[in-house]
Amino acid sequence: MAAASSLHAAAPAATPCRAGITSTPVARSVRVATAAARPGAGRGRLVARAAVAAKGDAPSCAAASNSDGHELLLFEALREGLIEEMKSDPTVCVFGEDVGHYGGSYKVTKGLAEMFGDLRVLDTPIAENSFTGMGVGAAMKGLRPVVEGMNMGFLLLAYNQISNNCGMLHYTSGGQFKIPLVIRGPGGVGRQLGAEHSQRLESYFQSIPGLQMVACSTAYNAKGLMKAAIRSENPVVLFEHVLLYNLKGKIPDEEYVLCLEEAEMVRPGEHVTILTYSRMRYHVMQAAKTLVNEGYDPEVIDIRSLKPFDLHTIGNSIKKTHRVLIVEECMRTGGIGASLRSAIIDNFWDYLDAPIMCLSSQDVPTPYAGTLEDATVVQPAQIVAAVEQLCQ
C-alpha cells in the first residue's frame, strides 16, 4: 500500500494548456487512444464533420498572428519570451557557455546579463555535464533554470544528467521534487557544419521517461513555446533549428502562451496528411505549392510537440484524408518518424487507405561537402514524389 501511494504521488506534474485545460505528458495520448479503439471503426467509415478540422477553420496560432503586432526574427522572439518570463518571475535564470555578456552563440540571450545581472544569467565553463547538473539541482530547490547548449550535439556530454536525473527525479523521489527545467539550443543540419555540429538529438531524448520535447519553427511559436516551457512543472527540451534563427515573423503585441502538447494546422487539405516539424515544415510547404498545381490538396500539420504527440489533431486529419506522409530531418532508424508511425498504426489503423510513408534523413554522419549534405536530407522533390505515390 505504501509503495502504491508513493507511485501515485510521483505522477508527472500537470502542464497548463490553452483554455484552462490541464494534462500530463501522456494524458492526451491515452485519451485519444481509447476513443480511437472503439468498436466498429472501419476503413472508409464516414466521420462526423465536427470531429474533423474543417477546411475553413482558422488555426488558433494563425488567427493570433493576423492581429496587430510586430515583426521579429526567430531568435529575437525566443529572446523576447525569455525576457518577459524573467521579468515576471524572479526564479527564472539562465545557465550556459557565453550566455552572459557575449549574448549566446546565436544571440538569444543578448543583453540579458545587463538587464538581470550575472547571477541570473550565469556564464559557465565549457562543461555541459556540470552546468546541466547544476540546472537540475537548481530546479529541485525551486528555481526555473533555462540551460542553453551552445550546440545540441554538445549536450550528449550531459546525457547522464538529462536521463538519470532530469527526467526521473520527480518519479524516483516519490513526487517530492519537481524539475521545472528548460534545456534549449541550436541543432539540425546547417550549412556545412560537419557531422558533430549537425546532430538531431530528438531520437536520443525521446525514450527518456518524464521528459517533454517541443520543436519551434516560426517566430510566433518560438516565443509561445519558450514561455510555456519555462512555466511548465516538467523538464522540457526545446529544439531550435540553426537555419531558422533569422526567419522573420509577426508577433502579437499582447502576451500569449502556447500549449506544449498541441500541433499546428499549417494548411488544411483533403487528400493526404503530411506530418512534419522544424525546418522540414518549409520543405513541405515548398512541395505543397507544386502539389496544388498538380491537383492535389495536401493537409500539412506541424506536430511541434515531439513528446507527447498531439494524437487528437493528427487523428482528426487522418480520419479525413486516410493517407499519411511523415517528413522529418531526424534519422530514419529510431527517429521521431518511427515513433509517430507506430502511434498512428496503434490508434488509427482502421482509417488508413494506404501504407504510412516516412521520409527521413539517411543513417549516415552528415557530410561536410554541401552537395553531399543536401543529399542526406529530405528535399521538396522527394516529398512531391511520395505524395504522388500515396495518392495513386
- DSSP symbol at 295: T
Q: How many CB atoms lie within 10 A of CB 210?
A: 19
Return the C-alpha cell found at 182: 528548460
Which positions are catalytic?
128, 197
Provide the CB-side half-sphere exposure for 353 (13 A, CA): 16
Distance, in Å, from the CA atom of 256 to the CA atom of 252, rounded to the nearest integer, reads 8
Residue 305, classed as helix, strand or coil, is strand
Asked if 222 and 248 count as a contact pair (C-beta separation under 8 A), the reply is: no
Determine the length of the chain: 392
Distance CA 268, CA 230 (A): 31
The three cell numbers locating residue 314 = 493528427
Q: What is the DSSP string of 96-143?
A: ETT-STT--TTSTTTTHHHHH-TTTEEE--S-HHHHHHHHHHHHHTT-
The cell for 110 is 543578448
Secondary structure class of 93 (helix, strand, coil): strand
Distant-in-sequence, close-in-space partners of 226: CB < 8 Å, separation ≥ 6: 77, 78, 81, 82, 85, 182, 184, 216, 238
CA distances from 87 to 80, 84, 141, 387 (A): 11, 5, 20, 47
Question: How far is 146 from 338, CA to CA, in rounded Å?
Answer: 29
Distance, CA of 154 to CA of 39 (rounded, Å):
48
Rounded to whole angstroms, what are the CA distances from 14 to 206, 226, 370? 19, 17, 44
